[in-house]
Structure 1
Amino acid sequence: MSASDYFDLDLQEDGIARLTLNQPARMNTMAPDFFPAFRDAIQRLHDEGGTRVLVIASTGKHFSAGMALQTFAGQGGLLDTGDARARLSFQESLRRLMACFSVLDEARFPVICAVQGGCIGGAFDLAAACDIRLCTADAFFSIQETTIGMAADLGILQRLQGLMPAGMARQMAYTGERLGAERALQLGLVNAVAPDAAALLEQALALARQIALKSPLAIAGSKLALNHARDHGVAASLQQMSLLQSAIFDTGEMGRAIVAWQAKREDAGFAPLKPVASLPEG
């Protein structure tokens, strides 16, 4: 199956990209070939440099019910842990699956996740790897893996304690219970709750436009600094900031921003980031 069998991807001239899960009849579940298609799509946006913000949304009643259950059927291939050699291969396969969502965290642009209805299992791993989460009033989040007898393994256990109080993250992991929209807002997991899917998308795109008007250099630098500070201590992060700022400080960029601000003009006409140079083949 191709990427279009799982999601639609559109990049607008304003630098806002929209990735929309497009299989509502299957509750937007994620079969094994979804993951590399998703990873490659995000990596391509990262490499090309034209994306300033990515909005991830969905169609139908639920954002996604997570990994398709047929993925867990049988013991061969990806899930083979029958002997030491198989377990070693399993570790590498799992690391590659993790990377399919880590690409969101590593992207040079912010990612806004607009969640409607259920955000379950692997979908929660995806949402947790985004910069910002918004949701509908009927949304709920669940670490479903606990219910089917396994520990969640695509990043939610590593990221959730940084997004909400550790005790609640652990309660969700241990019980598999659903966390509703209002409680998610109270705990800081989501930034806002919209009444329905249409209002949610409108709010997500409005936020994306607000970010897209800023200097992509400043936004990319801010994301790098925030991610480093999240994963390191203050002293190490301040040291990293001195190196980062020396690399991205641009008086011309600041001049354009100041002139636009003084003129009360939203669009300062910032240039996009440059593409990432690809390595020569063979």
Structure 2
Amino acid sequence: MSESKYYLVEKKGHVAWVWFNRADKKNAMNQDAWMDSPAVFKELDEDPEVRVIVVAGKGDAFCAGIDLIGMVGSMPELMENEQKGGLKWKLLKKIYPLQETMSAMEKCRKPVIAAIHGFCIGAGLDFVTACDIRLCTEDATFCLKETAIGFVADVGVLQRLPFIVGQGVTREMAYTAKTIDSRRALDVNLVNEVFEDADALFAGAQAMADGIAANPPIAVQASKDVLNHGTEASVADGLKYVASISSNIIPSHDLIEAFTAFAEKRKPVFTGN
């Protein structure tokens, strides 16, 4: 696994935990956080032993957002007084790699579960909306912060959040930049489940990941592929696409193993083939 100064990767069986590991700064996303994400998730995507990924934060928060001070050095265009065309062109080219930081989870074939405690602000919310499933603690708070500091959220949250909570809630969060608590997050489907504290959250995330990992990997990954496609295509196109995917993965050794194990009344052993 490639070394990262921001992310810490730990493997527990078929589950990989990707930790935001900058607890002293409440895991604010610095240059390393933005640049290292694609490589981390690409390697996990290519690791045949990894079937599910859990993303979580060390310390007392998931992520307090972008480290603005830490990022100024790599994006001096933000501080220029003369915001003319040539400068904007340079800035545009720097935004694309930042978008890839978030898209890395979406592009990863393995399901990604976000286990959120404490702050999940700005870039932190961007990050978790690119994950497949979100779980949180009772003390978790969420904020689409960018408008409050003069930015438009440009790395994916405005594209992904409406599919999760709908247009109305997304616009409310984007326009007001207000903070919502875990109860509101659950009510609007931003999170799937709320846990009492971090220990319960991490145990719950591991249990969910283990449950997913117990299923045939090829079927889980194909389901993610089809669901991702469905957010960008019409229902008709999505149906054509899933038919194509289904015909490509059936039959598989895991499908045969599932039937055989059921007939033999034993637990199936899936290999991903």
Normalising by the residue count of structure 2, what TM-score does the alignment of the two structures yield? 0.92
Task: Tell me the CA shift for residue 44 of structure 1.
Answer: 1.1
For the residue of structure 2 that corresponds to 1:63, the secondary structure is: coil
Q: Across the two proteins, how many residue pairs are aligned to each other?
A: 270
- The 1:224/1:75 distance shift into structure 2, 3 A limit, reads closer
C-alpha change, 1:93 and 1:253, in structure 2 (3 Å) is same
Q: Deviation of residue 181 (structure 1)?
A: 0.3
Aligned to 1:31: 30
How far the C-alpha of 1:103 sits from its partner, in A, is 1.1
2: CA distance, partners of 1:103 / 1:76? 21
Task: Trace 1:144-155 onto structure 2 (pairs within 5 A).
Answer: 144-155=145-156
Distance 1:188 1:39 in 2: 27
* TM-score of the aligned structures, taking structure 1 as reference length: 0.90
Distance 1:253 1:75 in 2: 47
Relative distance call for 1:64 and 1:138 in structure 2 (3 A) is same
CA distance in 2, matches of 1:149, 1:88: 19
> How much has 1:10 moved relative to structure 2?
1.6
Paired with 1:262 and 1:162, the residues of 2 have a C-alpha distance of 39
Q: Which moved more, 1:90-99 or 1:250-259?
A: 250-259
Deviations 1:173-232 (A, max 9, x none): 001101110111111110000000000000000000000011110011101111111211
Q: 1:76 to 1:153 in 2, by over 3 A?
A: closer
C-alpha RMSD over aligned residues: 2.0
- Percentage identity across paired residues of the two chains: 34
Q: CA deviation at 1:259?
A: 2.8
TM-aligned CA deviation for residue 73 of structure 1:
4.2
CA distance in 2, matches of 1:140, 1:252: 44
Instruction: Please say if residues 3 and 34 of structure 1, whose CA atoms lie closer than 8 Å, have aligned partners that are also in contact.
Output: no
For the 8 Å contact 1:97–1:154, the answer to whether it is kept is yes
Deviation, structure 1 residue 7: 2.1
Write the distance in 2 (CA, Å) between the matches of 1:90 and 1:197: 38
1:6 and 2:6 matched: yes
Looking at structure 1, the residues matched to 225 and 25 of structure 2 have their Cα atoms a distance apart, in angstroms, of 36
Q: Report the CA distance between 1:149 and its aligned residue.
A: 1.2
Q: Which runs of 5+ in 1 are unaligned?
A: 274-282
* Structure 1 pair 89–196 and aligned structure 2 pair: CA distance change class (3 A): same
Q: Find the counterpart in structure 1 of residue 93 from structure 2.
A: 92
- 2:16 aligns with 17
Q: Distance in 1 between matches of 2:68 and 2:252?
A: 53
Shift of 1:34: 1.6
In the TM superposition, what whole-angstrom CA distance separates every residue of 1:144-192 from its partner, at most 9, and x where no partner exists?
1111111111111111111013111101100110111011111111000
Question: Which residue of 1 is the match for residue 107 of structure 2?
Answer: 106
Return the alpha-carbon distance in structure 1 between the equivalents of residues 26 and 265 of structure 2: 44
Structure 1 residues 76 and 10: CA distance shift in structure 2, 3 A? closer
Decide whether aligned partners of structure 1 residues 76 and 69 sit closer, same or farther in structure 2, where only a CA change above 3 A counts.
closer
Q: Which moved more, 1:108-117 or 1:66-75?
A: 66-75
